[in-house]
Structure 1
Amino acid sequence: MADAARLFLLVAVAAALAGRSDGAWCVCRTDLPDGALQKTLDYACGAGADCKPILQSGPCFAPDNVKAHCSYAVNSFYQRNNQNPQACAFTGAASLTSSDPSANGCTYPATPSAAATSNGGVYSPPTMGPSAFNDSSAAAALLLPITVAGLGTRLLILACGSLLALYVGA
């Protein structure tokens, strides 16, 4: 019975740490209107993504369109947040892919370490809400709880696993 409990604990810890897998990218949906993608782009760049490569002099400026720039920004945000799936939610404007979107001399970071910054790249919600959603849209109200919910779920799983470990060890 103790072995089964230890196995459950191991599975619980693995589930808690799941949410990042090297070689995954976050990209914007191409079926959405440019206005929605521009809000997503603005939010990602304002919340910690490295958007320098998509500036006019950057290696990822071309193609010069919202869809391409949005994908680079959300991927940077996703990577800098340790490939947390909630960091690619963007209220449904982006999704995960295992296909490398890099092209034409523009390399999308594929791992958190490739996108790391001096502050570690960890997302801290803005104090006044998402900067890209200054229009009080419903999307703004949904994005932050989704991001926070993923962390809460992992912490709950870790807490349950720790309690189980104490119970089994007693």
Structure 2
Amino acid sequence: MATTTATILWPLPLLLVLMIFVSAANLTEGAVAQWCIADPQAPDDMLQSALDWVCGYGGADCSKTQPNQECFLPDNLASHASIAFNSYWQKLKHQGASCYFDSAALVTESDPSHDGCEYDFVA
């Protein structure tokens, strides 16, 4: 019986699908934890504008920064903006949201959680 080229090549598409699946799994396993925080060099007016947007229209959970809550202290604009920026980004990063906020924020691989204030993280 003669072997045709089609008979020899039929496993090729299956092999390609398997390679893509394994590569995607390896990317997920090797993912680095990241958080979105206020850029320390951003001016206060830029931080305030971004904070107003993200806590309003952006839909971030800004409740942790309210008085008597776990992330109220330190009570400063950069700290509160970091909590809000990160809340928004963690919630929406898998839908394409960025950690930019008109140059008011940046991504870090150092967990910014401190003194009972836990920053959200979504793998």
How does the TM-score come out when normalised to structure 2? 0.71
> Mind listing any 5+ residue stretches in structure 2 that lack a counterpart?
1-8
When residues 83 and 62 of structure 1 are mapped into structure 2, their CA distance, relative to the original with a 3 A threshold, is farther
> What does the per-residue CA deviation read over 1:69-102, in whole Å, with 9 as the maximum and x for residues that have no partner?
0000000001111455633121221111111001
Does residue 106 of structure 1 match 2:117? yes
- State the superposition RMSD in angstroms: 2.9
Q: Report the 3-state secondary structure (helix = DSSP H, G, I; strand = E; otherwise coil) of the residue aligned with 1:101.
A: coil
> What does the per-residue CA deviation read over 1:123-145, in whole Å, with 9 as the maximum and x for residues that have no partner?
xxxxxxxxxxxxxxxxxxxxxxx
4+ residue segments displaced more than 2 Å: 1-7, 82-87
Q: Report the 3-state secondary structure (helix = DSSP H, G, I; strand = E; otherwise coil) of the residue aligned with 2:97.
A: helix
Q: Map of 1:72-111 to 2, 5 A cutoff?
A: 72-83=83-94, 86-111=97-122
How does the TM-score come out when normalised to structure 1? 0.53
Contact in 2 for aligned 1:22/1:111 (Cα 8 Å): no
- How many residue pairs are counted as aligned between the two chains? 106
Counterpart CA distance in 1 for 2:81 and 2:46 is 10
Contact in 2 for aligned 1:49/1:77 (Cα 8 Å): yes
> Mind listing any 5+ residue stretches in structure 1 that lack a counterpart?
113-170
Q: Map of 1:1-170 to 2, 5 A cutoff?
A: 2-3=12-13, 6=16, 10=20, 14=24, 21=31, 23-46=33-56, 47-83=58-94, 86-111=97-122
When residues 82 and 32 of structure 1 are mapped into structure 2, their CA distance, relative to the original with a 3 A threshold, is closer
> Which of these two proteins has the greater Rg computed from alpha carbons?
2
Contact in 2 for aligned 1:83/1:111 (Cα 8 Å): no
Contact in 1 for aligned 2:32/2:109 (Cα 8 Å): no
When residues 51 and 22 of structure 1 are mapped into structure 2, their CA distance, relative to the original with a 3 A threshold, is farther
| Alignment-mate amino acid for residue 34 of structure 1 | D
Counterpart CA distance in 2 for 1:79 and 1:52 is 15
Counterpart CA distance in 2 for 1:22 and 1:110 is 11
